[in-house]
């Protein structure tokens, strides 16, 4: 006679046992190192929180998925950290990671009263730098600790997407979203780095969930609007440009859902007026062209030069009056902008291309790219289904997922940057993909949830 884990009660006790083991390890670490003790405490609290907020009927699957993802990330974190440290890179996986850590060290010294430290508002200083500096000031300089804390934030974001999808699309959809995000390779990688990506993805998840509730709750819309504004402000301390995109998505999505005809008319009039001003030869057109050249074209060229996998968008005949650099902006043909935007959008959404692998990093990403290519049609299908049945609620998500690639397509210039920035929309796209897959398969629970809103 075979007994399942649920029948013998092991599922209920496994998270508790896991927490006790980690607590024991944490107690030992307290005696050895404050940084490792805080890392152990963070893992214990994460495990207990995940157990507490996982619905009982999902614990058998959800906790195993989360536990395996946590174990894999920890092993990968330790392995990469030790390899890089052995190579003399102090555990840094990238230049940005080293930059953030150095700025955090400066800020921690500043907090300890060393006012002669050259801490200033320079490149690499943001809310994540301040957070890291506070952690270092309370413990000691430990890149490993910061990575463990990022791991916890990354898994917390994964759990948030799971609960969101479960509440809206059903139990099975929620578990599939959990599995996809928990084991999506690049999302796993960012969560074990000393970069700000896990924090920003978590904040984006909270912000767009609030926007989803804002557009669907007519009674407490003012409260949700204030909360959304607070999240936008917090995100602005990490990345002001991404914060502006989030603010636009929330505001435009909310207005478009309530006043579609008026917003469409206002948008068309704004675009027509902007195009007219651009094509006239007045001072406004000159200012716009100068802005586009200096802030878009030159920035994109700088990004191209910063990486061996760079790709140029503006070296063709449509921009012959712009280059070389010392020549001022003149006429830029409209089809030049459209062609460059389409090329940039293709790179942003689909690079590295399987037929043009040029480095070991791109080769490692090959399986993920194939998975993304397979899911992308279902992303579009799922978004279309949700627009049909929950148009008002889902509009901020749609606007965000469309506007971010549309903007970054003009400025991204290397495959690594495009790959990294694409993960700012990937979790939301994976939710759309699950809706598309389950609707295509006619999954009963999802269809019942969608009928409730139709």
Confidence of residue 438 (pLDDT cuts 50, 70, 90): very high
For residue 302, give its domain range. Answer: 256-451
Say yes or no: 367 and 283 in one domain: yes
Say yes or no: 179 and 285 in one domain: no
Phi (first) and psi of residue 310, to 5 degrees: -75, 155
**Mean pLDDT to the nearest integer, 228-244:** 94
Q: What's the confidence (pLDDT) of residue 323?
A: 45
Say yes or no: 163 and 16 in one domain: yes
Asked if residue 333 has pLDDT above 90, the reply is no
Say yes or no: 33 and 148 in one domain: yes
Cα separation, 70 vs 133, whole angstroms: 25
Cα separation, 170 vs 177, whole angstroms: 11
Is the backbone of residue 124 left (phi > 0), alpha (psi -120 to 50) or beta?
A: left
* Contact present, 215 and 395 (Cβ < 8 Å): yes
Domain boundary among 162, 195, 228: 195
Residue 310 pairs in a beta bridge with: 414
Say yes or no: 191 and 58 in one domain: yes
Say yes or no: 271 and 187 in one domain: no
Does 133 reside within a domain?
Answer: yes
User: When comparing pLDDT for 78 and 34, which is higher?
Assistant: 78
Does 224 reside within a domain?
Answer: no
Say yes or no: 183 and 282 in one domain: no
* Token pair belonging to 213: 């509730």
Q: How far apart are the first and last CA of the chain?
A: 47
Q: Quick: pLDDT tens for 56-90.
A: 999 889 999 999 999 899 888 888 877 776 665 56
Say yes or no: 311 and 432 in one domain: yes
Domain boundary among 195, 213, 234: 195
Say yes or no: 178 and 265 in one domain: no
User: When comparing pLDDT for 1 and 182, which is higher?
Assistant: 182
Q: What percent of the chain has pLDDT over 70?
A: 79
Q: Quick: pLDDT tens for 386-425.
A: 999 989 899 999 999 999 999 998 888 888 888 899 999 9
Query: What is the CB neighbour count within 10 angstroms for residue 168?
Result: 22
Q: Quick: pLDDT tens for 212-235.
A: 988 887 677 888 889 999 999 999
Could you tell me how many residues make up the chain? 454
Asked if residue 50 has pLDDT above 80, the reply is yes
Confidence of residue 19 (pLDDT cuts 50, 70, 90): low
* Token pair belonging to 85: 């440290």
Domain boundary among 158, 176, 195: 195
Does 329 reside within a domain?
Answer: yes
Query: What is the CB neighbour count within 10 angstroms for residue 370?
Result: 11
Does 73 reside within a domain?
Answer: yes
Cα separation, 274 vs 269, whole angstroms: 8
Phi (first) and psi of residue 414, to 5 degrees: -140, 155
Say yes or no: 33 and 169 in one domain: yes
* Contact present, 5 and 59 (Cβ < 8 Å): no
Does 93 reside within a domain?
Answer: yes
Q: What's the confidence (pLDDT) of residue 62?
A: 94
Say yes or no: 419 and 296 in one domain: yes
Q: CA dist 33 to 107, 146, 357, Å?
A: 21, 14, 43
User: When comparing pLDDT for 252 and 15, which is higher?
Assistant: 252
Does 169 reside within a domain?
Answer: yes
If one counts the domains in the chain, the total is 2
Does 218 reside within a domain?
Answer: no
Say yes or no: 140 and 22 in one domain: yes
Q: Quick: pLDDT tens for 262-315.
A: 888 888 888 887 777 766 666 766 776 677 766 777 777 777 766 666 777 776
Does 243 reside within a domain?
Answer: no
**Mean pLDDT to the nearest integer, 30-42:** 73
């Amino acid at each position: 006679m075979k007994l399942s884990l649920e029948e013998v009660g092991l599922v209920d006790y496994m998270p508790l046992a896991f927490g006790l083991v980690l607590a024991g390890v944490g107690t030992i670490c307290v005696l050895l190192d404050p940084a490792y003790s805080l890392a152990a405490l963070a893992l214990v609290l994460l495990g207990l929180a995940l157990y507490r907020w996982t619905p009982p009927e999902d614990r058998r699957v959800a906790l195993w998925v989360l536990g395996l993802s946590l174990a894999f990330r920890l092993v990968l974190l330790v392995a990469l950290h030790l390899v890089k440290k052995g190579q003399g890179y102090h555990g840094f996986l990238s230049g940005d990671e080293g930059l953030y850590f150095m700025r955090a060290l400066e800020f921690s010294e500043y907090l300890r009263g060393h006012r002669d430290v050259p801490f200033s508002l320079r490149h690499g200083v943001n809310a994540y730098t301040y957070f890291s500096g506070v952690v270092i000031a309370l413990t000691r300089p430990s890149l490993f600790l910061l990575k463990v804390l990022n791991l916890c934030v990354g898994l917390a974001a994964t759990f948030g997407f799971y609960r969101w999808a479960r509440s809206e699309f059903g139990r099975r959809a929620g578990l599939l979203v959990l599995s996809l995000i928990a084991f999506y390779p690049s999302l796993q990688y960012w969560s074990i780095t000393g970069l700000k990506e896990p924090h920003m993805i978590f904040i984006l998840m909270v912000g767009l969930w609030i926007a989803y509730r804002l557009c669907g709750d007519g009674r407490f819309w003012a409260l949700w609007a204030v909360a959304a504004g607070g999240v936008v402000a917090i995100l602005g301390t990490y990345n002001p440009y991404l914060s502006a995109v989030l603010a636009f998505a929330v505001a435009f999505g909310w207005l478009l859902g309530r006043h579609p005809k008026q917003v469409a008319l206002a948008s068309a009039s704004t675009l027509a007026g902007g195009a007219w001003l651009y094509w006239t030869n007045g001072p406004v057109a000159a200012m716009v062209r100068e802005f586009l050249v200096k802030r878009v074209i030159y920035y994109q060229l700088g990004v191209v030069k910063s990486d061996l996998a760079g790709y140029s968008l503006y070296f063709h005949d449509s921009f012959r009056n712009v280059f070389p650099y010392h020549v001022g902006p003149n006429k830029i043909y409209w089809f030049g902008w459209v062609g460059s935007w389409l090329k940039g959008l293709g790179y942003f959404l689909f690079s590295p291309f399987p037929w043009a692998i040029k480095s070991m990093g791109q080769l490692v990403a090959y399986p993920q790219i194939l998975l993304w290519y397979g899911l992308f049609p279902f992303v579009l299908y799922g978004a279309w289904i949700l627009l049909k049945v929950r148009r008002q609620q889902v509009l901020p998500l749609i606007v965000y997922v469309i506007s971010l690639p549309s903007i970054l397509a003009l400025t991204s210039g290397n495959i690594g940057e495009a790959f990294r920035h694409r993960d700012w929309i990937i979790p939301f796209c994976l939710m759309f993909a699950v809706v598309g897959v389950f609707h295509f398969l006619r999954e009963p629970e999802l269809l019942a949830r969608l009928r409730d809103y139709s």
